[in-house]
Homo-oligomer: A and B are copies of this chain.
């Protein structure tokens, strides 16, 4: 990618550049293709050089996830609480889908300043709408974890040949699937988010 370098000649890297290059690499070759050597090559640098910006590979991946989440919160506080949370969920999903390759490494929300700000904004909206502090926190949590689970499942492609269902044993399943239901990921996501919001409303 970059020109060859001599022994102490600076490449002028930053931690952010390393993380971004890692995200780009993963987008291209998948999480399994992310190796220290490959990432180094991407940046015109030897593998060991990366250890000046990241203590080890695990921390590198954590950093990528953090970066993903930091980019995920546009902090749009909506007018009414349902619109606010709906926007939050859709924005978060969109941000996660921007780097699908990293999603297998995302098993819980990263705690970043941006995430805390988003949580605070959500709590403000919800408590303002009459939720108790505890319920508001639980609601935000449930919504966030649902988004993570749904999005992770979306990108986890499987062999998924024809489902091993037979009409005798699973008539309803066959019918629902053949009617085209459950195909569109975005529609399923929207359905679920709306259900969750309606449920919060009912429990308020």
Whether the Cβ atoms of B198 and A165 lie closer than 8 Å is no
Interface size in chain A (residues, C-beta < 8 A): 63
Interface residues of A in 114-140 (CB under 8 A from B): 116-117, 119-120, 123-124, 127, 133-139
- In the complex, chain B residues whose CB is within 8 Å of the CB of A164: 111, 113, 116
Protomer copies? 2
Closest Cβ of chain B to A101, distance in Å, is 12
Closest Cβ of chain B to A86, distance in Å, is 13
- In the complex, chain B residues whose CB is within 8 Å of the CB of A135: 191
Whether the Cβ atoms of A152 and B149 lie closer than 8 Å is yes
Is A38 an interface residue when CB atoms closer than 8 A count as contact?
no
* Cα-based distance from A165 to B138 in the complex (angstroms): 18
**Interface stretch of the complex, out of A8-16, A43-51, A68-76, A175-183:** A175-183
* Cα-based distance from A6 to B113 in the complex (angstroms): 59
Residue positions of A touching B, CB distance < 8 A: 103-104, 107-109, 111, 113, 116-117, 119-120, 123-124, 127, 133-139, 141-142, 145-150, 152-153, 155-156, 158, 160, 163-165, 169-173, 175-177, 179, 181-182, 187-188, 191-192, 194-203
* Cα-based distance from A201 to B196 in the complex (angstroms): 11
Given contacts A108-B158, A109-B153, A116-B164, 11 further A-B contacts (CB under 8 A): A107-B152, A107-B156, A111-B160, A123-B172, A134-B181, A137-B181, A145-B146, A145-B153, A146-B150, A191-B203, A199-B199
